Amino acid sequence: MSVNVPGLVSIIVFYLLILAIGIYAAWRKRRAGTGNESETIMVGGRDIGLFVGSFTMTATWVGGGYINGTAEYVYTPGYGLLWTQAPIGYACALVISGLFFAKKMRNEGYVTMLDPLQRKLGKVMGAFLYLPALAGELFWCAAILAALGGTLRVVINLSMTASVIVSACIAVMYTLVGGLYSVAYTDVVQLICIFIGLLFGGIPWQVYFQRVLSSESAESAQKLSFIAAFGCMVMSIPSILIGAIAASTGNSLSQTC
């Protein structure tokens, strides 16, 4: 199997950039030396501003599974744009969460979305409720890595297994070094790259509440939810166009043949 060398080099440069930004964000936060260490790892010291917060909230939803899945469903016969639920569904979830949950959760100073349930129902029930949340995160990570592996296999002709392993190692590395602070800053770069690249060519989720609880204020937590809802809709447009063009091209070729 031959590897696309220019594509491989560009991917390596991109990953090195992401890793460097993640490490820099961690170094910058540790140099400041403020806040509780566990809160710094989990919720970024609760001082993520509106600008970075909006980017990382949007990037939480707009990933490989979102981009590839939207294009795939628009393209697939029998589904189309009407059954492509992710853009509208995610946007609605973010708006509802911003209206009813973000402000209260941030004001209470929780660390995870399960904290209020554990406080109300006890530690045993909290442990049971953790299981579906864990399953959701694992399946979501699997979808993102599978989409990434499929993309890299097409772009640079690299095996899917190698793509998934390398990508997972990079993400784990900068997350271990800097926690959410590293994730937030790398999300800004990744979302910009996704948006530029495309122009040229659910409520009970811990990842949502992690961004909410890391914001610098309750008002900011609410605002970034609304901004991310708008961002999710905007970011779906290129994928919808890709799927629609692919479907139209396929139909035209079938009629010609």
Q: pLDDT tens across 37-59, in order?
A: 666 667 766 777 888 888 888 87
Helices (H), 109-159: 115-121, 123-156
| Residue 28 pLDDT level (bands cut at 50, 70, 90) | confident
3-state secondary structure of 215: strand
Tokens found for residue 236: 């779906």
Q: How far apart are CA 98 and CA 106, in angstroms?
A: 11
Residue 49 placed within a domain: yes
pLDDT digits (tens, 9 = 90+) for 144-184: 787 777 777 777 777 778 878 877 887 787 777 767 667 77
Provide the mean pLDDT of the chain: 79
Residue 28 placed within a domain: no
Residue 75 placed within a domain: no
Range of the domain at 133: 5-21+38-61+88-232
Pick the more confident residue, 252 or 106.
106
Tokens found for residue 223: 């605002």
Helix (H) or strand (E) holding 36: none
Question: Is residue 57 a contact partner of residue 227, using CB atoms and an 8 Å limit?
Answer: yes
Give 48's strand partners. Answer: 215
Residue 177 placed within a domain: yes
Residue 178 placed within a domain: yes
pLDDT digits (tens, 9 = 90+) for 188-221: 777 777 666 657 546 777 778 888 888 888 898 8
| Residue 68 pLDDT level (bands cut at 50, 70, 90) | confident
pLDDT digits (tens, 9 = 90+) for 239-255: 888 888 887 776 655 55
Pick the more confident residue, 25 or 237.
237
With CA atoms as reference, report the closest residue to 221 among 129, 141, 114, 110.
110
3-state helix, strand, coil in the chain (%, to 5): 85, 0, 15
Burial of residue 73, with CB atoms counted within 10 A of its CB: 0-12 exposed, 13-18 middle, 19 or more buried: buried
Residue 206 placed within a domain: yes
Residue 137 placed within a domain: yes
Residue 257 placed within a domain: no
The number of distinct structural domains making up the chain is 1
